[in-house]
Structure 1
Amino acid sequence: MPVEPTGTAPVPDPRMAQALGRDRRRVVLSYLAMALAWMIATDGAVTALVPDPQQAALWQSMKGAFFALASAGLLYLLLRPLAEHVLHTHARLQASELRLRQMFEGNPGPILVYDLDTLAILDANPAACSTFGWDRDALLAQTIDVLWPPGQDQALQTKLEEIREAPEQLCILRAQLQLRDGSLRQMELRSNAIDYDGHTARLLIAIDRTAEDLAQLRRDQALARVEEAHELARIGAWELDPSTGQGRYSNQVYRLLGRRPPEARRWHRFDELLVAADPATAAQTDQVLAGLCSGEQVQVDVLLPVLAMDGRALMVHLRAASGVDEAGRDRILGTLQDVTEREQSRRLLREREEQFRELVRVLPDGVVILSDEHVLYANAWAAGLFGYGSHTLLGEPLSALVAGSDLARLRAQMRAGQPQHSPGHSSVLAMQRADGRSFQAGLAVGDVRYGGRDCKLLIVRDLSESEQTRSALETSNRELQAMAGRLFSLQEDERRAISRDLHDDIGQAITAIKLSAYAAQDEDDAQRRGEDLAQIVSLADTTVAKLRDISTLLRPPQLDALGLEAALSWQARVLFRSSSVELQAEIESLPTRPDNSIEQACFRIAQESLTNALRHARASQVVLQLRDVDQRGLHLMIRDDGEGFDPDGPRGLGLIVMRERAQSVGGHVRIESAHGAGTLVDVHLPYQAAVTAAVESAEY
């Protein structure tokens, strides 16, 4: 199908029209000349040669027949070249149309032809069908507006009206087109007017710019991230023309130097921005700027103390190197970074390192750093501890510092990478001095970086004398705890006996008095006797109640009958039933019943703590908690929001007794308090008394 150039009607080939006109004129003139010559010559010859009219008529007829045959043959000969020229020209036109169709079909870009009046799609190349997701027949059955996304109809009509007003102009626009699957692609559209089989049509070429737009978007996002990174790193970029000494600077450069960025980037000199902090810096800055404009290869990396516009002292890191811009012109490309905080941190780090070195030097413990089990560093105390000079200890192997019996233990501890201070693991090792004498030392092991290498740090403390003292103290503490535990046990036994006597003897006696008083009511003078006996009964009831209360306070029956949990619940209700203080009791059931001594200690500590909270703390809320700790022990906690006290001040007997009770059974008490911050009593007790065996052995 031919695609004609722009216009309203086909335009003939000028060369073909000229050839056809020339051939037509040649045929007509040749025929006229031959006819006139024949007519004049033959008519004169017949008249001269044949006088007879009949004979002359016959010759005239023969002459006409011959002229017809001759003219036919002559016309054939004259028209044959014209026909060959027409056929040749037609073949050329067909070949040209075929080439245009091949270019149309084979073009890798989408090309459409649509009717400007009806908007019907008249033709489409395979690339258009593939790009828009239609097969050819289905696409040719559509109108051009099928490619526009919903909601863009008004914009399409407006553009079509502009095209119809000036159809001869080339139209270029960017728009989103919709594929058959509903997805959108960003396209650049170019269209021009053509005549297509008598239709006023437009040839539309679509160029997919989606990838370019996406790449541009990613580039813009990358630049934005670079700007954000520069802002976070407090770094700005700049470029300088070495021939003029003027440069352009990013907004971050202005902000770093305390200036307002200009509305549009402009060229100006670098020294307009940099204000040196002192004369020496000013001379250095001038030297650096002069080197940038020297025309030689530049490589700058300097720190400059400058002043910001608001008077702040800044330390800036100036870097620069020779380069070229997008047009290939020589430029100095560089960065300016605010490193004030970094330099301050470095200065403080150097000071701290000096302080640390001095601390290690005067530390009354040996500090040894090992690399591959050889001494890489040792402080003066370590050198004296092992009997070496200040530097002769360096390079000594680990085996020369540790007794052979404990060398394997130390190596195991070093491989573990942490001090063995947990219960059941001793950190006391036998060390060895230069003269061969051994001594007991407490040892801590850790990992450290020294001289760019991974090393081991040993902190050694001489325990030769303190070890004996500590052993004797531990023995004394065990004996004291055993005696205290026995004392508290005897006290509880005595209280149990007193409670039983008061309940069984005095209680029964008072009950007998009560019965006797009822019997005496039968005496004479009933009114008086009744008043007296009623008073006796009332006094007897009161005495019995008091005796029962005393008995319960001396030894609550719930502790023996129901266990620690019930006894604590009862005690808490009794103490707080007539008080305005809010009690929150959270008493959990224990998985196993503790020893009798454990229950006694826990109950008495809780009783003392709750009583203190009511009498002295002036609290509004008290929390009582009892819970199991992984079936290894029990945890008692009493917390109040009262006035608190100074834990470093004088301590009452109650606090001392609580600590002794807990320690006597192998537990411990932690008491925290402060003025206005309330008080916390935190108790940890085992289920089995730790001193039971010691007490039994002491009895025997």
Structure 2
Amino acid sequence: MGDAIHLLMLEDNALDAELALTVLRQGGLAVECHCAVTRREFEAALAGGGWHLVLSDYALPGYTGLEALAAVRSRDSLLPFVLISGTLGDERAIECLKAGATDYVLKDNLQRLVPVVRRALSEHLERLALLEMQRALQRNEERYRAIVEDQSDLICRLSPDGVLTFVNHAMTRFLGRRGVELIGSRLLTFVAPEDASIASGAQLRISPQSPLVTCEYRIVDASGRQRWHQWVLRGLFAEAGQLSEIQAVGRDVTELVEALRALRESEARFGRAVRGSTDGLWDWDLVRQQIYYSPRFRALAGWRSEPRRADPPLFGDLLHPDDAEPVNRAIQENLVGGAPFNQELRLRHEDGTYRWFLARGDTERGSDGRALNFSGSIADVSERRQFEESLRVAHLRLQRLSRRAMEVLESERRYLARELHDEIGQVLTAVKINLESVARQVDDDNLKERLSDSIDIANTALNQVRQLSLDLRPAQLDDLGLVAALRGHLDRQAAVGQLTAHFSAPERRVRLKPEVETACFRVAQEALTNVLRHARAR
């Protein structure tokens, strides 16, 4: 031993004490000794502590070795205590060993002292190490138990046949029973009947090669509810490979299981909706840069299998060249600024033809505003576009027919106006002139009066023919344009209706198209007619 041994000796004989120290030192032990002679001196030194070994004579005046041993054991149960006596019988020796003495040596056999001391010190060190190990093990056990008891998970230990040997507080609370009531019962007792085969099968799968088994089954709680738990079973095996114990940890995953079930049901409903939808759907994962096209999308596009390209950009090279730039710009505007994406576009069918689709989509964003997904749908609007095109063509045809009908009507009006003005007007003028000439040559007053009435009638007819000719097609409209025709028509209508009329129009250097001037004149003409008939304007 490298360090000095602190020895406390109880001996009233100085020669015996010196002899014992000499034997120890000659035996190779480095000893620092304090020799006490009386009880008071011994117990005072013992109280000071720091001793490695106690050597004590058995018989001292007023104090015995057993009393000294009791004093030592009251302070330290492991401190080596060796008795040295000249007359120690077997009975007393046994009594001392039972009282806690480490060993004894007779004074006439001191050659045993060194081996006894060495063995006592060695055993003392071993006992201290063992005690420390026990204390460490106890601390670990306490920490383990505290951890286990504080866990919200269900923790238990089972025998190989599934009998509970330990349960934590969480499990007692969950099952609504005390620990002593659960110990000795089988775990399967608390498993939902439908899951009993799962639980027993998991225990049977434990082996030295696969000591860890994971499974999920339901446990019935104190209120009778079934709660899903994910169990981790670990088998503990003896050296011979036999299963000695099972440690089980169960975590309540009811909310997770129900959420997963709801998710599967939601996905199933979504799948049915996608399959039943007449629209084709896409989902562009902007993070992983992958695009999903629904079966209906592929059918609308004429794909017989998966699309040749399922990576960006959206629609790939299927877009009509004339639509690519505006569609891609609209997509970027939605991704960046959230502008609505609602575009009619053409996609190339697998047969090489282009078909019209209405595409609508929007961007899903994360909490930081970053675009995550761009999803939307396409609807085939080819038939609608064809119908709109047919309607547009029909509308143009109708416009041409209407314009032609108006041209024919105006042509007829122009002809009738010219006939009325040039033919009938001239005839009536000639009649009027002839009547006026005859009236100047007749002396009969009665006949003159009748001729004057005839002249008035002819004049009235002539004015009506002229007015009718102007109403049908004023010559000013063809010769001078819309403004002059409107001004003349307004003046005539104002004179007829005895109105005060005001006319204002900007000067135009370039005339409108004839059909436009005619249409505008007819609108104004109808408006003035309504004013004269209904407005009572003055």
TM range (shorter): 0.3 to 0.5
Larger radius of gyration: 2
Q: TM-score, normalised by structure 1?
A: 0.34
Q: TM-score, normalised by structure 2?
A: 0.42
Higher helix share: 2
